[in-house]
């Protein structure tokens, strides 16, 4: 039994709230330092800790390791408390001005976990749609400084919590496919939503049929240029497991194909089924002949860590501004060639998107 197998056994335990099979750890050869490091790199620290806690005391790591690990879990819990508090506050603030944002990802997905406070959180993503500009003005009127504004969102800090206000939920790099994507997203986000409660505040969420595709697209668009951690795959896995009987299967298949995401759905589905324990019936596509691509995806995730940060540390950038630009271009181009197996159109368009974005920043003095 190697470290990776033990790591995934613990992760599945935390993800599904079930006891890990203790016989996997009975030989006393567990490399706990490596497992803790992997959990940090993949931003699933608290989930893997939960799995460890289901082991008999004799099979757990040393007291020193447990205390170090527990301190990380406490930080995850504290971050979630901050986001829960400020999510409730900002939703109430906007509602006071007749704006009703829809929460994307984040704490809404966390509510599906056995222990929501143990999903490692990021920021608060709010879809404002046609109220985007008015919401920006309201935030500015509170003396809050707005950060960088991109094509789809603007960021700011709300009482210490990082927030992104979205005009668009997500954008493709391919302009033609992006037009199709925007029509698809607007149809879903303008229709019936669901809700959950945080600190007695009702928060709007997208419908499960939207999230089943949106979370995959969001993960893929980070994966193509840089990489992702297992947390993103865990989120998508829980959406599919929780709602697969409620989601219109034929509509899901049709929309995945419309958005040219079938290869990505099948490949990510392979990892979700074979490593995270998702029942295969939750994937509406066959997983035949996808093992090679699925193993490549998993290897890239484990090697790069969350958003490819582990790879970034290994980069040795050349000196000089244009040397770095050329190095990054070659790196991006080489990576995107490999990523065509997951989503050909987006992998093909990303280098052009990056180049045009650089030119735009130069012309407008943003770099």
Reported as a single tens digit per residue, the pLDDT across 106-143 is: 999 999 999 999 999 999 999 999 999 999 999 999 99
Phi and psi dihedrals of 190, rounded to 5?
A: -95, -10
For residue 55, give the nearest of 10, 119, 113, 16 by alpha carbon: 10
pTM across the whole model: 0.93
∠ CA(23), CA(26), CA(28), 5° rounding? Answer: 155
Return the ∠ at Cα 38 (arms to 34 and 39), rounded to 5°.
Answer: 120
Q: What are phi and psi of 115, to 5 degrees?
A: -125, 90
* Residue whose token pair is 């046609």: 130
Instruction: Please report the pLDDT score of residue 317 as a whole number.
Output: 59
Residue 367 has pLDDT above 50, yes or no: yes
CA 203 to chain centre: 20
Residue 357 has pLDDT above 80, yes or no: no
Average pLDDT, the chain: 92
Which tens digit of pLDDT belongs to each residue from 22-58?
Answer: 999 999 899 999 999 999 999 999 999 999 999 999 9
222-235 average pLDDT score: 94
- pLDDT of 313 reads 46
Are the beta carbons of 207 and 289 closer than 8 angstroms?
Answer: no
Tell me the C-alpha distance between 279 and 240, whole Å: 9
pLDDT score, position 230: 97
Six token digits for residue 151 = 């094509």
Higher pLDDT, 307 or 98: 98
Average pLDDT over residues 167-187: 96
Average pLDDT rounded to a whole number, residues 206-225: 96
User: Does residue 326 carry a pLDDT above 80?
Assistant: no
Scored b (16 or more CB within 10 A) or e, 121-134 reads beebbbbbbebbee
Cα-based distances in Å from 138 to 70, 93, 95, 144: 40, 9, 12, 9
Residue found by looking up tokens 């999903």 in the block: 119
Mean pLDDT of 277-288: 97
* pLDDT value at 258 more than 70: yes
User: In the structure, what pLDDT confidence band is assigned to residue 338 with cuts at 50, 70 and 90?
Assistant: confident
Residue-by-residue DSSP string for 143-166:
TPPP--B-SSEEEEEETTEEEEEE
Give the pLDDT mean for 281-294: 96
Residue 323: what pLDDT? 62
Strands of the 201-205 sheet, one edge to the other: 153-158, 161-166, 124-127, 102-104, 201-205, 194-198
Residue 164 pairs with which residues in a beta bridge? 125, 155
The answer to whether 284 touches 249, Cβ cutoff 8 Å, is yes
Q: How confident is the model at residue 187 (pLDDT cuts 50, 70, 90)?
A: very high
Look at residue 314 and tell me whether its pLDDT is greater than 70: no
């Amino acid at each position: 039994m190697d470290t990776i197998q033990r790591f995934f056994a613990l992760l599945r335990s935390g993800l599904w709230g079930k006891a890990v099979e203790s016989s996997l750890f009975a030989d006393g050869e567990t490399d706990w330092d490596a497992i803790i490091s992997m959990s940090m790199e993949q931003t699933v620290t608290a989930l893997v800790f939960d799995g460890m806690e289901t082991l008999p005391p004799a099979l757990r790591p040393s007291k020193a390791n447990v205390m170090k690990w527990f301190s990380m879990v406490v930080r995850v819990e504290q971050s979630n408390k901050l986001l829960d508090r400020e999510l409730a506050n900002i939703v109430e603030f906007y509602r006071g001005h007749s704006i009703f944002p829809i929460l994307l990802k984040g704490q809404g997905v966390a509510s599906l976990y056995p222990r929501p406070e143990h999903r490692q959180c990021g920021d608060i993503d709010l879809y404002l749609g046609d109220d985007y500009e008015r919401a920006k003005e309201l935030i500015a009127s509170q003396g809050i400084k707005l950060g960088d504004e991109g094509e789809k969102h603007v960021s700011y800090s709300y009482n210490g919590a990082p927030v992104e206000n979205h005009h668009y939920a997500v954008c493709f790099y391919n302009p033609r496919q992006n037009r199709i994507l925007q029509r698809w997203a607007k149809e879903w986000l303008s229709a019936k939503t669901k809700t959950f409660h945080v600190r007695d505040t009702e928060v709007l969420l997208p419908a499960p049929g939207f999230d089943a595709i949106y979370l995959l697209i969001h993960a893929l668009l980070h994966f193509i240029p840089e990489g992702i951690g297992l947390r993103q795959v865990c989120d998508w896995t829980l959406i599919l497991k929780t709602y697969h009987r409620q989601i219109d299967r034929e509509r899901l298949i049709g929309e995945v194909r419309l958005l040219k995401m079938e290869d990505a759905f099948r490949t990510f589905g392979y990892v979700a089924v074979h490593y995270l324990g998702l029942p295969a019936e939750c994937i509406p596509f066959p997983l035949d002949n996808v093992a090679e691509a699925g193993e490549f995806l998993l290897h890239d995730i484990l090697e790069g860590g969350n958003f490819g940060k582990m790879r970034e540390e290994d980069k040795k950038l050349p000196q000089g501004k244009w040397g770095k630009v050329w190095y990054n271009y070659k790196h991006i181009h080489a990576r995107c060639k490999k990523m065509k197996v997951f989503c050909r159109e987006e992998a093909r368009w990303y280098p052009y998107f990056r180049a045009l974005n650089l030119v735009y920043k130069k012309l407008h003095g943003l770099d």
